[in-house]
Amino acid sequence: MTAQLSKPDRPLLATLKGERQAVPPLWLMRQAGRYLPEYRALRAEKGGFLELCYDSACAAEVTLQPIRRFSFDGAILFSDILVVPHALGQHLWFETGEGPRLAPQLSQTGLDTLESRPERLAPVIETVRQVKAALAPETTFLGFAGSPWTVATYMVAGAGSKDQGAARRLAYADPVRFQAIIDAIIAVTVDYLSAQIDAGVDAVQLFDSWAGSLSPSQFERWVIAPNAAIVAALRARHPETPIIGFPKGAGAKLVDYAGGVGADAIGLDETVDPVWANAALPAGLPVQGNLDPLALIAGGATLDAAIDRILAAFPERAHIFNLGHGILPDTPIDHVQRLVDRVRGS
């Protein structure tokens, strides 16, 4: 990868391939969602969140909404990381105000009780096709999946948790059984992301939202190794498709993650000092991030200063401007526009 200043037709995709841009490309995690009135209107019309994810036309519309409003350099597929355990055979539903639920809980039963349902992923792949047909050619289309550790935490506990305790307990107590869960997730995820690529996405991101809850040795086994397996398998099938790894909460373990996983770019959460990341990560490795979503809510001079610090941290490295995690529902739309204008120098 070579760092250079250029203005290609697809700046985000070029950045993922190592080309530094004079103005960093920009997209935001969860940019399609609850902070947009057009999303809230469609969600109210459609009903439940999962129903919206599996309605290809509606999910395509949601994917495109923030592109129309802000002209982001990247469009990220509207879906959910838990469609993978749904395809593995768990029941999936969303409780209002409480989040996702999965049954049966794998803390109490085994994979052999599940009946694989890969056809459940078909509507998501159709969403990819519809978005690709509607998306402007200069906009990079990003697919995604949850990383195995994060997905496993939900499968084991049947819901989200503050410390991922159920999955951590199982991983220590019965690593063979937990490895079987991880391996099943890897297999489905590789096929799922490969299908997204075949249907039209230009790059993919692996979200390891709960990577920060693991000790170093457990991080190596349950974060680095599974993500490396997915990256290797995808690279064998789609050698030209960039892969972004996002291990939220990894902290100093980002260096080991970068070296061990082999992703084409690394996402930084808001707790990472971008100056440290620029010095510590391998030269030439593109990075993505890492504005605190709460700074975006604060707006004004606070937001401007936070943006400027991140922009100054990567004087020679290929950089994609993004949040350190997903945009929050109460984010003012004019603050997002201020962010876009500030990054682009408008």
Instruction: Check residue 193 and give its pLDDT.
Output: 98
Q: Give the orientation angle of helix 175-199 with respect to helix 225-237, to 10 degrees.
A: 30
Instruction: Check residue 1 and give its pLDDT.
Output: 42
- Check whether 47 has a pLDDT greater than 90: no
Instruction: Check residue 201 and give its pLDDT.
Output: 98
Distance from C-alpha of 124 to C-alpha of 53, rounded to nearest angstrom: 7
pLDDT in tens, 279-315: 999 999 999 999 999 999 999 999 999 999 999 999 9
What single letter denotes the amino acid at residue 202? D
Quote the radius of gyration of the chain (alpha carbons, Å): 19
Confidence of residue 46 (pLDDT cuts 50, 70, 90): confident
Q: Give the orientation angle of helix 300-313 with respect to helix 333-344, to 10 degrees.
A: 40
Active site residues: 30, 34, 43, 80, 154
In the sheet where 319-323 sits, what is the strand order?
74-76, 140-146, 203-208, 243-247, 265-267, 287-291, 319-323
Instruction: Check residue 7 and give its pLDDT.
Output: 60
Q: Which domains does the chain have, with CATH numbers?
A: 33-286 (3.20.20.210)
Confidence of residue 2 (pLDDT cuts 50, 70, 90): very low
pLDDT in tens, 145-171: 999 999 999 999 999 998 999 999 999
- Check whether 317 has a pLDDT greater than 70: yes
pTM for the model: 0.96
